[in-house]
Amino acid sequence: MPKSASCRKLPACISSALTSALVAAALVSPNTAVAQVDDQTRKLARDIFQQLIEINTTDSVGSVSAASKALQQRFLDAGFSPSDLYLGGPNDRKQNLVVRYHGTGKEKPILFICHLDVVEARRSDWTTDPFKFIEKDGYYYGRGTQDMKDNDAIMATTLIRLRQEGYKPDRDLIVAFTADEEGGKSNGVDWLVKNHRDLIDAAYVINPDGGGVDLENGKPISMDVDATEKLYGDYQLTVTNPGGHSSLPVPDNAIYHLADALVRLQHYQFPFELNAVTRAYFKRLSTLETSERATAFKAILAPKPDPAAIARLSENPEWNSMMHTTCVATRLQAGDANNALPQLAQANVNCRILPGHSLEEIRQQLIQIFDESKVTVRYVNDAGEVFDVAPDRKQLPPPPLNSELMSAIEQLTAKMWPGAPVIPTMSTGASDSVYTNAAGIPSYGVSGIAIETNDVRAHGRDERLPIVSYYRGLDFYYQLVKMLSGGA
């Protein structure tokens, strides 16, 4: 969803803010290791990437089904059984593809979720055609090169490569290629959870749409693992009034009531709260920092967190957002004429809600904070529809970090990006993990794609990916999948 800015490396993601804290602390080494990818695999990976980029999968005019069917054919050509390739969805344009790679069944399956849709891209905004795969100056250009056809192609290539090698995992590997993560009304993960839970049931979910390696001037600064997410919520504040002539003002004024409510919000701080992921995040930072900040991190992790330390760290917007639900005024409109008392005053308040709290719970809390009986507070959904009451939807509090997964990522990161710390993060946006988490399958954003923190182009113009990052990301996933399925 464009509004909730789900995807990796967007400014809305907490992870990108880490770099300032880590750049001095991380003991970085030159990024010299060479990707272990043979020529045949390299060619296959490139071909699939090109094919996916050149299939337009935008919600407006594109077709996710075309991309799903292209991948289905790739798997058939590679010898996958038709019965292990499920193609389905709510309508002709939004077909999802679920691929099952059979293992021995010793362990419960792992599910990988990969959205095939991309955000809109106008030819006139771009230097090149966004739906042409272009190789230039060490980069691949095209809509989806960062978000996330790179990892779609990597997952498809990895399964085909493993099959060609005759690899037998100790668990089923399931990959769901899906529709409408970025927008649209047919979210594929949601649809699969509701209609084909049996096809995608797993011990845990890996979502390559989150996490990844942050680079600064070519140096790996951190390997981020998105282990939980905040929930996105919009609320509409409305005050109505009979109005009147501005030469005869009265105290009962729509604009003043609304302004009073917003000022109360301005001075309100939602309660301090940590979960398994943010606790691990701050613990990690406390070992990387040596200054008084390390003391502050330790002070908020204590059984009785120190309010002074919380206040000090909250001055940093990213850390503030990690510790609190945040709600902020983002739009305002009121009045009809310069010489008339306002009949209507409205504002939008945008919230990023910590796991464990529902949209309706926050609406009720806002009403209390505003303490203004004239202000009505309604919920606004992603389509802009307004409701008197908000849904009870919430992000479930994250379970403890999955040690098998974290340890595999630690080992691979030490090998491929030596010196870069592995940091569990909480994304401030929402990805498709919201559906699998809600279905009780713990979900983690994991990616081997390395991008310069100042070259984030997901959703933007001239989206591009360093060619070297693509093949290293491919190598990363190949090794990760094997490590998690008894093969290494």
| R_g of the chain computed on alpha carbons | 24
Q: Alpha helix locations (H) across 232-358? A: 254-266, 276-288, 292-301, 307-314, 317-323
Q: Which residue is nearest to Zn ion (CB)?
A: 7
Binding site for Zn ion (CB under 5 A): 7, 147-148, 209
Least distance between Zn ion and beta carbon 117 (Å): 9
Least distance between Zn ion and beta carbon 8 (Å): 7
Task: Give the three-state DSSP class for 35.
Answer: coil
Nearest-angstrom CA–CA distance, 434 and 428: 12
Q: By C-beta, is 10 or 261 nearer to Zn ion?
A: 10
Q: By C-beta, is 7 or 375 nearer to Zn ion?
A: 7
Least distance between Zn ion and beta carbon 155 (Å): 13
Least distance between Zn ion and beta carbon 147 (Å): 4
Closest CA to 194 of 267, 96, 69, 120: 96
| Residue 335 vs residues 29, 88, 446: alpha-carbon distances, Å | 59, 50, 48
Strand partners, 204: 110
Nearest-angstrom CA–CA distance, 447 and 425: 13
Q: By C-beta, is 147 or 150 nearer to Zn ion?
A: 147
Q: By C-beta, is 1 or 484 nearer to Zn ion?
A: 1
Q: By C-beta, is 182 or 475 nearer to Zn ion?
A: 182
Q: Is 77 left (phi over 0), alpha (psi -120 to 50) or beta?
A: alpha
Q: By C-beta, is 318 or 432 nearer to Zn ion?
A: 432
Least distance between Zn ion and beta carbon 114 (Å): 9
Instruction: Calculate the CA 109 to chain-centre distance.
Output: 23
Q: By C-beta, is 4 or 413 nearer to Zn ion?
A: 4
Strand partners, 444: 206
Least distance between Zn ion and beta carbon 42 (Å): 24
Amino acid at 28: V
Nearest-angstrom CA–CA distance, 321 and 316: 9
Q: Is the bond into 483 cis (omega within 30 degrees of 0)? A: no
DSSP label of 274: -
Least distance between Zn ion and beta carbon 433 (Å): 11
Least distance between Zn ion and beta carbon 428 (Å): 15
Instruction: Calculate the CA 176 to chain-centre distance.
Output: 17
Q: How many residues does the chain have?
A: 488
Q: By C-beta, is 209 or 289 nearer to Zn ion?
A: 209
Q: By C-beta, is 7 or 353 nearer to Zn ion?
A: 7
**DSSP codes joined into one string, 275-293:** -HHHHHHHHHHHHH--SHH
Least distance between Zn ion and beta carbon 181 (Å): 6
Nearest-angstrom CA–CA distance, 480 and 412: 7
Q: By C-beta, is 12 or 48 nearer to Zn ion?
A: 12
Nearest-angstrom CA–CA distance, 310 and 306: 6
| Residue 419 vs residues 200, 212, 412: alpha-carbon distances, Å | 35, 15, 11
Least distance between Zn ion and beta carbon 447 (Å): 10
Q: Which two three-digit tokens encode residue 69?
A: 């069917």
Q: By C-beta, is 51 or 207 nearer to Zn ion?
A: 207
| Residue 86 vs residues 95, 98, 172, 187, 196: alpha-carbon distances, Å | 10, 5, 15, 16, 10
Least distance between Zn ion and beta carbon 364 (Å): 32
